[in-house]
């Protein structure tokens, strides 16, 4: 009982002791949030609603003339936003699905089997957590495989890059799940595939939520690898399109379009976060600190 009460009472007493902190802390939080997050987001929001003439030198003033509608429309038509959106989805969704499914299968074996060979394979598979992908020779290999500039090639590269993360988190998670759960099902005659589908995968749900958002976040906003693998062309993803629009910025002064693009590109991630916030936070934190 005392342990349940203690932390709260400590905090309360500390704030009772120091009134400056009691009122200073929320004030400081508000100030920091306003300056560090508020100002940049405000800039994006107002500039994306300004006409081009007002947006040439971006500032924090409210638009004298609101025209967010036509800006977003222009970003869609000129920046090929819908096309880019579709291209991004076609690459990111299969990559995330593969990372999760392949990762879960491997993590299950790595967590349950104990032999030198298995630990060696595990160590090799999580080496991608630290090692940088060799992007130049990836291009070389994809060319030889006939996958350069194609979506399957991009999906394969993303899957290879992010598998380490999902295997690492999932293996740690499965190790903490009692084997008895599986054994009970095995007694009832369940096959490994069935045990994996009906016991392991449902239990993995919290890690899957975290891995989904992290991998989606990385792949959705990636431009470096997309540059090398996909290039500009037909299959360009949203970040590649944003880069194109922003590079033209130098000559066209189109900050209003750049920021309309930024808003549209960011909204899906913010939406996913808001929907799955609690799961994501608990997943990130439980996986990282052991």
Partner 1 sequence: MADTAIRTRTRTQKPAPAKGRAGKAGRLPRAAVHHPWWFALPAIVVFAAFFLVPNLLNFYYPFTNWSSYHPDIAFTGLDNFTTIAADGSLLRAIRTTLLYALLAAVFQNGFGLGLALLLEADSRFNRFFRAVFFLPVLISALATGYVFQSLFNQDGAVNGLLGTDIPWLGSTSWTLVLVTVIHGWKWMGLSMLIYLAGLKGIPGEMLEAAKCDGAGPWRTFWSVRWPMLAPALTFNVTTALIGSMNTFDIVQATTGGGPAGSTEVFNIYMFRIFGQGLYAQASAMSLVLFLVVVAVAIPLVIGLRRREQLL
Window 65 to 94, contacts with partner 1 (CB under 8 A): none
Sign of CA dihedral 266, 267, 269, 274: positive
For 31, phi then psi, to 5°, come to -60, -50
Nearest distance in Å: CB 267, partner 1: 9
Strand, helix or coil for residue 211: helix
Closest separation between CB of residue 105 and partner 1, Å?
4
Residue with smaller CB distance to partner 1, 59 or 70: 59
Pick one of 6, 70, 77, 119: the residue that binds partner 1 (CB under 8 A): 6
CA distances from 124 to 129, 130, 132, 156, 211 (A): 10, 11, 14, 18, 20
Pick from 229, 257, 256, 218: which is nearest to 241 by CA? 257
Question: How many residues sit in the footprint of partner 1 (CB under 8 A)?
Answer: 98
Residue 167 C-beta: closest distance to partner 1, Å: 7
Contact with partner 1 (CB under 8 A) among 108, 168, 169, 173 = 108
Distance CA 159, CA 96 (A): 7
- Min dist. Cβ of residue 136 to partner 1 (A): 4
Give the nearer residue to partner 1 in terms of CB position, either 127 or 198. Answer: 127
98 binds partner 1 (CB under 8 A): yes
By CB under 8 A, is residue 57 in contact with partner 1? Answer: yes
Binding mask 194-233 for partner 1 (x = CB under 8 A): -xx--------------------x--xx-xx--xx-----
Whichever of 90 and 101 has its CB closer to partner 1, that residue is: 101
CA distance 162 to 100: 9
Contact pick of 44, 207, 215, 257 for partner 1 (by CB under 8 A): 44
Binding mask 114-143 for partner 1 (x = CB under 8 A): xx-----x--xx-xx-xxxxxxxxxxxx--
CA atoms within 13 A on the CB side of 207: 26
Angle at 113 between CA 110 and CA 118, to 5 degrees: 60
CB 196 within 8 A of CB 108: yes
> Candidates 66-74, 76-84, 96-104, 201-209 — which segment interacts with partner 1 by CB under 8 A?
96-104
Identify whether the C-beta of residue 220 lies closer than 8 Å to the C-beta of residue 268. Answer: yes
DSSP structure class, residue 56: S
């Amino acid at each position: 009982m005392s342990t349940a009460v203690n932390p709260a009472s400590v905090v309360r007493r500390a704030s009772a002791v120091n009134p400056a902190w009691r009122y200073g802390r929320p004030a400081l939080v508000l100030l920091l949030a306003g300056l560090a997050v508020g100002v940049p987001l405000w800039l994006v929001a107002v500039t994306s609603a300004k006409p081009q003439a007002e947006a040439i030198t971006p500032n924090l003033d409210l638009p004298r003339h609101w025209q967010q509608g036509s800006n977003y429309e222009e970003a869609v038509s000129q920046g090929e936003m819908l096309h880019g959106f579709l291209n991004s989805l076609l690459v990111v969704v299969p990559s995330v699905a593969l990372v999760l499914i392949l990762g879960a299968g491997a993590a299950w074996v790595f967590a349950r089997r104990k032999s030198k060979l298995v630990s060696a394979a595990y160590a090799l598979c999580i080496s991608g957590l630290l090692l940088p992908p060799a992007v130049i020779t990836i291009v070389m290999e994809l060319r030889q495989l006939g996958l350069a500039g194609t979506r399957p090639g991009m999906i394969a590269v993303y899957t290879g890059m992010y598998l380490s993360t999902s295997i690492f988190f999932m293996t740690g998670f499965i190790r903490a799940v009692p084997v008895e759960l599986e054994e009970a099902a095995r007694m009832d005659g369940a096959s490994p595939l069935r045990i994996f589908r009906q016991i392991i995968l449902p239990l993995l749900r919290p890690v899957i939520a975290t891995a989904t958002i992290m991998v989606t976040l990385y792949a959705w906003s990636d431009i470096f690898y997309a540059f090398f693998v996909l290039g500009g062309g037909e299959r360009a993803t949203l970040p590649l399109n944003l880069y194109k629009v922003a590079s033209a910025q130098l000559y066209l002064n189109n900050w209003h379009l750049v920021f309309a693009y930024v808003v549209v590109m960011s909204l899906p991630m913010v939406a996913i976060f808001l929907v799955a916030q609690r799961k994501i936070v608990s997943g990130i934190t439980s996986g990282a600190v052991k």
